[in-house]
Amino acid sequence: MSLQREEANYFGAGPAFLPTDVLRQAAYDLFNFENANLGIGEISHRSKTAMKVIDDTKANFKELLNIPDTHEVFFMQGGGTGAFSSVAYNLMANYAKRTGKKGKAAYAVTGGWSKKAAEEAQRLGFDVDIVANGKANNFTSIPPYSEWKAIDADNTAYLYVCDNETVHGNEFNSIPGPEYLPEGVELVADTSSNILSKKVDVSKYGLIVAGAQKNVGLAGLTIYIIKKSLLEQASDDELRALNIPLSPIALSFPVVVANNSAYNTIPIFTCHILRLVTQKLIEDGGIEKKQEQNEYKAKILYEALEKYPSLYKLPVEKNSRSHMNVVFTLPSEDLESAFLAGAAERDLTGLKGHRSVGGMRASIYNAVAIESVEKLVAFVIEFAEKNQ
């Protein structure tokens, strides 16, 4: 069997497209890693070899995002959905340690994923305050901070935002600053679908989380970048006394960090994929270069769609549009079916929108080549000329 493949023009939202040369190297390594006569997935997760994979991957993230010494990088299983729980458990335990009381959490609900995150925190028994909610306008924009509900500074542990909503196609173009976010309230961001797509000032965040499978790797690992001071937590007895739910041991940030992400069996092959992807990103010019490419891809696609307003409807307001997930609809199901069929004939795949909202969605993640987006743009124009 050959390890060659024709480059795909794939726009699926996740698991997402990965660089072919990364997958080719990973395929060899799955069979025989570093001439050890063992595959990367067969080695002990606590061996020196596995620890080096973890350490190298962490180092790549630190280099790419210029992560300061105040923050730690680690990996856990559970995806973005698992992070809904782990964030609430751990940041509330830290708040109890800092203040001696049970805190509450603020959530900005700007799309389907932040809505699920808030609902999970509530389900686990935490006090959740919704400070922004775009549901009334179908999440077509992210409200300005001046319209958000004020945060209860005396009792709130953290503010949770989803930086890029994969389903609804909106993205924050700034982060809550001191004019809105009170001192002592930690900023938590789910960046699952836009991590490593743009420059980020990590020092502004208490915690950044990202499921790997949308923009930087395979499903199976979640990236966490946490302010080290947040790893200090109240004891189990102290948490019980305050009626604060205890975190499962496998989701305990201090335990995972103390064991270099290998308290339980880390999917080391998935971590190796992350290492290869991040190393390639470094070699290709880093975040600044990738952000420039991503902005260009989004620009040409949005401009093509905007040229034909009678055919393509862009539900998200301009200042909230995602650079990663471009969503649009056509006037009828028949036209949408015809668009998908025509795209498939041109090997443009993965364009069907999420089942909860319908329409089209082009996910133009880091690994999606400029040439692929240019082919999609050409088809968008061709289809419009024939059908408007």
Q: Helix, strand or coil for residue 135? A: helix
Tokens of 138: 């179908």
In whole angstroms, give the CA distance from residue 224 to residue 110.
21
- What tokens does 351 get? 């364009």
Q: Which candidate, 13, 6, 7, 10, places its Cα nearest to that of 348?
A: 10
Find the angle CA(334)-CA(316)-CA(137) to the nearest 5 degrees: 100
Pairing outcome for strands 207-211 and 222-227: antiparallel
214 is catalytic: yes
Catalytic residue among 190, 227, 290, 297: 190
Catalytic annotation, pick one of 29, 62, 113, 148: 113
Instruction: Enter the DSSP assignment of 352.
Output: B
Packed helices 333-345 and 370-387: angle between N→C axes, nearest 10 degrees? 130
Tell me the CB-side half-sphere exposure of residue 186, using CA atoms within 13 A: 28
Per annotation, catalytic residue among 115, 214, 227, 297: 214
Tokens of 311: 């055919």
Active site residue 190: yes
What phi and psi, each to the nearest 5 degrees, are found at residue 285?
A: 120, 0
As given in the structure block, the two tokens for residue 147 are 């319209």
Strands (E), the chain: 9-10, 71-76, 104-109, 127-133, 156-162, 164-165, 170-171, 186-190, 207-211, 222-227, 325-328, 348-349, 360-363
CA distance 117 to 83: 8
Catalytic residues: 113, 190, 214
